[in-house]
Amino acid sequence: MSGQKLTVKQKKFADEYIKTGNATESYKKAGYKVDKMTDNALWKEASNTLRNPRVKAYIDSAMKKIEDSKIMGAKEALEQLSKIARGEPFLKMIKLNEDDEPQPDFVIPKPADMLNALKEILKRYPLSAVDKAQIKKVQAEAIRAEAEAHVAKAQAEQLHTVADKTREKMDKLSTEELRNLAKLAGEDDD
């Protein structure tokens, strides 16, 4: 497989995907015939192209070069996305203070920005089957835990209702009836 080369369209697709992280748009820009395709079919074909072992190997190799090289655009963008994803403050702009001296203006990313940055990074590194399985497992465990919490809450509410009704009925009993009840339960008043 290492001796096989990408087709022209596959290479254009991969290069565009590395820039944008958007498989559907990359598929269109690569020159594939998409005029008569539904959005779902287009997404499916773009996803299949992205999973093609030769295309994936090319993208992985290019991403490695980006990581290793000093290319300003892509590498810096990935570094900035990583900083945002980690919640690190980043330089928004440089302002001038009263003395006309430069003063940096740092911004702390919001949680929504951090999540979006993570999504953008992960678009460029497709997840393996093991990663996807682990994510599904964690999601299932979260759903199960939430369901168990709901059941426990319902049981607690039911227990409180029974206790309240019992207390109401016991309040209506006379002292003599309470003594008889205590004797039945095995508690003597002596």
Q: What is the mean pLDDT of residues 171-179?
A: 88
13: number of Cβ within 10 Å: 27
Of 88, 160, 24, the residue nearest 80 (C-alpha): 88
How many helices (H) and strands (E) would you count in the chain?
Answer: 8, 2
* Burial class of residue 26, CB neighbours in 10 A (0-12, 13-18, 19+): buried
> DSSP label at 106?
E
Question: pLDDT tens digit string along 49-82?
Answer: 999 999 999 998 888 877 765 555 666 778 888 8
Q: What is the mean pLDDT of residues 158-168?
A: 91
Q: What's residue 68's pLDDT?
A: 64
Q: What CA–CA distance (Å, rounded) separates 157 from 149?
A: 12
Q: What's residue 31's pLDDT?
A: 93
Is the pTM higher than 0.85?
A: no
Residue 17 has which token pair? Answer: 């995907």
Residue 113 has which token pair? Answer: 């920005």
pLDDT at 1 over 50: no
> DSSP label at 190?
-
Percent of the chain at pLDDT exceeding 70? 90
Q: Which amino acid is at 86?
A: R
Of 83, 140, 141, the residue nearest 113 (C-alpha): 83
Q: What is the mean pLDDT of residues 160-167?
A: 91
Question: pLDDT tens digit string along 89-134?
Answer: 877 767 777 887 777 778 888 888 888 888 888 877 767 778 778 8
Handedness of CA 65, 71, 77, 83 (dihedral sign): positive
